[in-house]
Amino acid sequence: GTCEGKRCDSDKVYKCYKDATYKIHLWSDHFSAGSATQNCEWAKNVSACTEGLITNGCTDEIKGRIRILEEGFDKTRTSVCDPDLLKSLLEWNECHNEEAFEQCLDSSDHQIKQLEGSGKLSRKDAECRMIRNEMDCIPSAATGCPPPTSLALEAFRNYGSTRLDLEDCPRPGGGNSGLASRPEMFIVLGTLLASLA
């Protein structure tokens, strides 16, 4: 009937995107053609997962957030399914400066913890800032890398933006995104990158 058409499955929509996003791993010294294919499959599975979910009963604000998430995730999917990404990530693994990345992350994390400790930042704001710092610190690790690694850098940036959208964080340069905040889903990129050290 007509009532059926006015549902808001936003939680389920977010779960589809969140499940896919946190299965995608771009940072690993064991990255292979198999993991590249798997990442692309996870990204493509979102369409099947969201099929049949209805959002026309959602508020305009929630619809807007879902639209931002979908558009942002499209960029992430394009990145992770790019046939040239594997070569770019393997080059990145060889050339990036792990020490520069760790130093950048340490100094910004220390600052965030101080602000959070003094009550100037909420837990949520601190988490959002940590995701943004990871995104900001990645280019500092790439200074000695050749141009082909720009594909990897773009993939990191798109993936980071999707995480901001999912965790209900404002994107750098304004514009809010995301919906439900679930801190336990928060993954620190540094721990994934540590395996490269």
Task: Round to whole Å and give the CA distance between 73 and 68.
Answer: 8
pTM: 0.80
pLDDT digits (tens, 9 = 90+) for 112-166: 888 888 888 888 898 899 999 999 899 888 888 988 889 999 999 999 999 999 9
Distance CA 84, CA 152 (A): 9
Structural domain that includes position 120: 3-194
Name the token pair of 51.
Answer: 């099929």
- How many domains in the chain? 1
Residues near 110 by beta carbon (within 8 Å), at least 6 away in sequence: none
